Amino acid sequence: MRIEGSGALVVGGASGLGEATARALHAGGADVVIADLDSERGEALAGLLGERARFIAADVTCSDEVAAAVSAAAQAPGGLRISVHCAGIAWAELVARSKGPHRLESFEKVVAVNLVGTFNALRLASSAMLANEPDGEGERGVCVNTASIAAYDGQIGQVAYAASKGGVVAMTLPAARDLAASGIRVCAIAPGLFDTPLLAGLPAGARAGMAASMPFPPRLGRPEEFARLTCQIVENTMLNGEVVRIDGALRMAPL
């Protein structure tokens, strides 16, 4: 799939991994719609990118709001051909402790945003892609979702987050198979420890400890490295139904 001339939707595109991806796709010549809850950051990014970029406020758990973002991206001259989902939240809580069991509402919230929200964008974006004319490879679009290495090595207190990201991993192959006959690919990226706003508030010592735990390179991942991998998946038609880890060979310990 060619990035240049394609319409692209980046859900959760106002900051972190999503912002880097929106920047990379725009630099590659795509018409980019940034969808996010953070209107201030989203509008600022769209204004900075300028032509071929716009912001749509959207909550990933709201079908109507995501549908509006998809519709806006589909208005690009090339149609919506690239959908990237980066929106997500984290939560730390034990399954059970002396104060009581894990709160059901917090588990449900994480799953609603990270898993159901991802599926919401996937189903709406892929449906819009059906209207595209196939390219020379017979391709109509590509969807790239964000999982996490927590899907494989979830740490203590990560049960909700790990479950939500495990769901993203598990739906990648069946979604790719569902959409294969229509020429729409589905992949996911499972990042390790990346230097995003999620980690920015941690003390310097904690961040240094995380970096030291990385086999190689011994540092936190850079959002632009995630964005580069996203673009490589978009451009490589043989990548389909796959979850790609980008983690510097990190396998997280229980703590």
pLDDT in tens, 201-234: 666 776 777 788 899 999 999 999 999 999 999 9
CB 60 within 8 A of CB 117: yes
What sign has the CA pseudo-torsion 204, 150, 89, 241?
Answer: positive
Cis peptide before 217 (omega within 30 of 0): yes
161 a catalytic residue: yes
Quick one: pLDDT band at residue 138, thresholds 50, 70, 90? very high
Q: What mean pLDDT comes out for the span 121-136?
A: 98
pLDDT in tens, 186-210: 999 999 999 887 776 666 776 777 7
Quick one: pLDDT band at residue 9, thresholds 50, 70, 90? very high
pLDDT of residue 108: 98
Mean of per-residue pLDDT scores for the chain: 95
For the chain, which residues make up each domain, given as ranges?
A: 7-195+223-246
- Choose among 29, 125, 12: nearest CA to 71: 125
pLDDT in tens, 175-187: 999 999 999 999 9
Q: What mean pLDDT comes out for the span 10-39?
A: 98
Give the CA distances from residue 187 to residues 43, 202, 244, in Å, rounded to whole numbers and listed in that order.
Answer: 28, 31, 8
The β-bridge relationship of strands 96-97 and 100-101 is antiparallel
Residue 91 pLDDT > 70: yes
Q: What mean pLDDT comes out for the span 237-252?
A: 96
In CATH, 7-195+223-246 is 1.10.260.40: no
Catalytic residue among 107, 161, 194, 226: 161
Tell me, rounded to whole angstroms, the distance of Cα 9 from its chain centroid: 11
**What's the CA gap between 5 and 93, in Å, rounded?**
44
Quick one: pLDDT band at residue 52, thresholds 50, 70, 90? very high
